[in-house]
Structure 1
Amino acid sequence: MGYVDNVKSVLIHPSEFFSKMPVTGGYAEPAKFAAINLAIGGLLSGIVSFLGLAAALSLFGLKGVGAGVDSIPISVVASIVGGLVGLFLGSGVIQVVMGFLGGKGTYEGTVRVFGSTSATQLLTWIPLVGILAGLYGIYLNVVGLAQVHGVSKLKAFAGLVIPIVVLIILATVFFAATFASVLGGLAATG
């Protein structure tokens, strides 16, 4: 199956796609697929950002031509690098959580799910549609994780949500401790 066929299949027929998706074969294929999606999404996001900046500057009588054009290649590189790091690190976190939830899949299978669902990056640059694409990406991850790990979609969804909840709790505790420390320091000096 070629690149375009994979994009269409994962976006339009996710259950069928993930039931046929190989869970072995290495990391190069899902990383390459994700990198292409991230590059295209990053390029289009960079162009939209540039055009938005140029339009905003023109409202104030400023010439927007050339302003921020360097943001386009930066957007592409940042999207690819950040996305691939996120692909492998995020898959590791989700793999651990799925194991606690009874998932039987492998880390490689999890990477392949997230690599495949990166196809939603092709839509995230479109204002408002990007939000819907992000939500659809969550659904695609649930379908893929349920298939790869042999768990219910509810458990697959929990596998995505639990790390976010833990991160929010840790951030809240950190900021509360920092705030308390600052207040304690102020009280001691006052």
Structure 2
Amino acid sequence: MAEIGFGEKIKGFLISPVETFQKVKDEDLGPVLKYYVILVVIFSILNAIIMGTMSSAMTSMMPMKMPLMGAAGGGLAAVTMFIGFLILLIVGLFIGAAIIHIFVILLGGKKGYTQTTKALAYGMTPQLLLGWIPFIGIIAGIWALIVEILGIRELQEMSTGKAVLAVILPGIIIGIIVGIAAAVYVYTSGTVSTP
């Protein structure tokens, strides 16, 4: 099957993800990673600009007026955010895919780790395109989660219910573990000091 173009993939994963996942089912991981990295770079740049601008604006509102510090702080924050998002999103794709793939296997998926990685990489399209926009990013994140579920369903040939569980359960389990760890920490840290 011929590789579909970059713009066609963006449009497809935003508007008709099921049909687009069917078109990329036999695609190698190379084009997937190229697509994903391009979107990650764009997202990281735009998000860094937004965060750097916000950081600069907040610094300039400090009681002690130091405009150069505000500009430098905003610029440094932007560069740090860019590098951080770039690394986090690229490494996070493979770690997230590995975690979700464990649940895919437990729930009967047999199409391999590559298909899970493809589902997550392409599923992030709405978030990577629109997630940097304040408030709209929340909607884009929800849409990305739905597209990821559809991707797991289509590429792993699972039922919708199993795909939902494969994507949602890891987050729930991690949330519970973090909640328990936080509760244990608060309980054992002795938040009340005695004289």
Q: Settle same-fold status: TM greater than 0.5.
A: yes
Q: Which amino acid aligns with 2:171?
A: I
TM-score (normalizing by structure 1) = 0.86
Aligned to 2:155: 148
Aligned to 2:77: 71
Greater displacement, 100-109 / 134-143: 100-109
1:8 paired residue among 11, 34, 42: 11
Identify unmatched segments of 5+ residues in structure 2: none
Aligned to 2:135: 128
Cα gap change, 1:16 to 1:69, in 2 (>3 Å): same
**C-alpha deviation, 1:169, in angstroms:** 2.2
Identify unmatched segments of 5+ residues in structure 1: none
Aligned to 1:43: 45
Matched, 1:96 2:102: yes
Q: Which amino acid aligns with 1:134?
A: G
Higher relative contact order structure (alpha carbons within 8 Å, sequence separation ≥ 6): 1
CA distance in 2, matches of 1:2, 1:19: 15
Q: Does the 8 Å contact 1:23/1:108 carry over to 2?
A: no
CA distance in 2, matches of 1:46, 1:4: 24
CA distance in 2, matches of 1:49, 1:172: 28
Output the aligned Cα RMSD: 2.4
% identical aligned pairs: 25
Q: Which amino acid aligns with 1:157?
A: V
Q: Which runs of 4+ in 1 moved over 6 A?
A: none
Q: Does the 8 Å contact 2:124/2:147 carry over to 1?
A: no
